[in-house]
């Protein structure tokens, strides 16, 4: 089995396993106690904090260990907003932040705050000038991920940090996807990360709050972790997390070159091997191991099952693989195709032979799913009425797009196809199909049931 979902969770690094086993015997006692076992646990915890600070590029007393990366985000956002309550109640996030950041923003809005969402371009990157334009006198905090978890696009953190610093507004960086590769550059104020993203054990998060940043921890607090992460520290997990961080950093430069070559191979060859594919994310400013593409006329869940049966573990941002049946907020913000979406995220050590076998298996898997769904093999030809209605009510992705593709050739050039759909994904996938196929997306209109999406035939 080839595991290609490291962006969700990287396999446990051998160094993490060794450190975890060793610290289970040495770090089980309460580090707040003064007897021998407590002092030994405290030494392990302090050494881990020093090593984490070195990897991040900050002071040891700025580092807090939490129970997860998500918890670090929630604590960091809430504490920074509360600490700057007198400044105002305005939060800025990018449109493609991790759900943990967006959920924190939703809570803030529910409590009476306002949230500005900075858009991204089609590659998934923010423009620093857009952040600058979103800043207001009452902005208390801004949030920007160091790199996107779904498409791998690296964000201009240093430039955005400079804009925020000039305005006197702290920037929280979600560094979950990049901290295992390198420190985060720029003059940021807060940083969060999660150990299971770089090969550490799950259940260990990292929160860094720079000195001078106003911060007021919310909820019950105690004397541990500067009052910012109450409860008994998971010392074995923390030690293993930091040990693995140092280990992957030592290997990062060489491994990044190798993984970039493998992902570049996938980016280049998938469109050659599989027709009607859109490779998404920035082609240059991207993480070493992530490549994401979307396939027209494909049910994402069905494709993932086919690949799983062939021995490949991959993930997807497609609405068809979501319990909510709504498109990925990342793909939606980018304005790219969401149906048949596949994210390949290679863990360190991935064999070249496994990538080659994936490229051999993928075309047949996509073709099989398309055949089952009745996808068009070629566009229809001929002339017909100047307008056609496609009723796709009650049908989920990618059926509305498939039915549109089957009939677009039946109307004359400049003719209109009106697609009725009540699937939220159609709002994203029909315009994306038009761009890929060179047709004109006119817009949407309300309908008695669902929404009507209008497409004009151009060629």
Residue 354's φ and ψ, nearest 5 degrees, are -70, -40
Rounded CA separation 276/439 (Å): 14
Largest CA distance in the chain: 88
Q: Are 271 and 304 in contact (CB under 8 A)?
A: no
Is residue 320 flagged as an active site residue?
A: yes
Give the DSSP letter string of 379-399.
---S---SEEEEE-TT--TTH
**76 burial type by CB count under 10 A (0-12 exposed, 13-18 middle, 19+ buried):** buried
Query: How far apart, in whole angstroms, are the C-alpha atoms of residue 289 and residue 198?
Result: 12
How far is the C-alpha of 136 from the C-alpha of 92, rounded, in Å? 10
Determine what percent of the chain falls in helix, strand and coil, rounding each to the nearest 5. 40, 20, 40
Q: Which residue in 58, 164, 295, 320 is the catalytic one?
A: 320
- Cβ-based burial of 219 (10 A; exposed 0-12, middle 13-18, buried ≥19): exposed
- Rg of the chain over all Cα atoms, to the nearest angstrom: 24
d(CA 61, CA 64) in angstroms, rounded, equals: 8
Rounded Cα–Cα distance for residues 91 and 266 (Å): 38
Catalytic machinery residues: 320
């Amino acid at each position: 089995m080839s595991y290609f979902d490291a962006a969700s969770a990287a396999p446990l690094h051998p160094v993490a396993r060794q450190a975890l086993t060793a610290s289970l015997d040495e770090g089980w006692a309460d580090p707040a106690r003064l007897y021998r076992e407590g002092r030994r646990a405290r030494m392990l915890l302090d050494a881990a904090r020093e090593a984490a600070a070195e990897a991040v590029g900050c002071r040891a007393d700025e580092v807090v260990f939490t129970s997860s990366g998500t918890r670090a985000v929630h604590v960091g956002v809430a504490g920074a907003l509360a600490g700057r309550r007198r400044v105002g109640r305005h939060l800025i996030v990018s449109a493609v932040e991790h759900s943990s950041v967006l959920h924190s923003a939703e809570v803030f809005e529910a409590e009476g705050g306002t949230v500005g969402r900075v858009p991204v371009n089609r590659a998934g990157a923010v423009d620093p000038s857009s952040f600058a334009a979103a800043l207001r006198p009452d902005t208390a905090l801004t949030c920007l991920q160091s790199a996107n978890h779904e498409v791998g696009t690296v964000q201009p953190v240093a430039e955005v940090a400079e804009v925020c610093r000039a305005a006197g507004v702290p920037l929280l960086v979600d560094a979950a996807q990049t901290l295992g590769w390198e420190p985060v550059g720029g003059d940021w104020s807060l940083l969060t990360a999660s150990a299971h993203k770089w090969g550490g054990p799950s259940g260990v998060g990292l929160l860094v709050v720079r000195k001078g940043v106003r911060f007021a921890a919310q909820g019950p607090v105690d004397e541990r972790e500067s009052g910012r992460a109450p409860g008994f520290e998971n010392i074995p997990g923390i030690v293993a997390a930091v040990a693995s961080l140092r280990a992957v950093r030592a290997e990062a430069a060489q491994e990044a070159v190798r993984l970039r070559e493998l992902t570049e191979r996938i980016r280049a060859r998938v469109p050659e091997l599989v027709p009607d594919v859109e490779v998404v994310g920035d082609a240059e400013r991207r993480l070493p191991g992530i490549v994401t593409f979307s396939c027209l006329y494909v049910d994402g869940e069905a494709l993932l099952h086919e690949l799983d049966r062939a021995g490949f573990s991959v993930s997807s941002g497609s609405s068809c693989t979501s319990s909510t049946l709504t498109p990925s907020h990342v793909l939606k913000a980018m304005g790219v195709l969401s149906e048949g979406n596949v994210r390949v995220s290679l863990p360190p050590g991935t064999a070249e032979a496994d990538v080659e076998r994936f490229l051999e298996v993928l075309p047949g898997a996509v073709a099989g799913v398309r055949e089952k769904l009745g996808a068009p093999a070629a566009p229809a030809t001929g002339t017909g009425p100047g307008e056609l209605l496609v009723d796709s009510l009650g049908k989920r992705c990618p059926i509305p797009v498939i039915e549109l593709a089957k009939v677009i050739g039946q109307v004359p050039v400049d003719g209109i196809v009106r697609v009725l759909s009540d699937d939220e994904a159609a709002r994203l996938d029909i315009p994306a199909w038009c761009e890929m196929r060179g047709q004109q997306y006119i817009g949407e209109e309300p309908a008695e049931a669902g929404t009507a999406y209008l497409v004009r035939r151009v060629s």
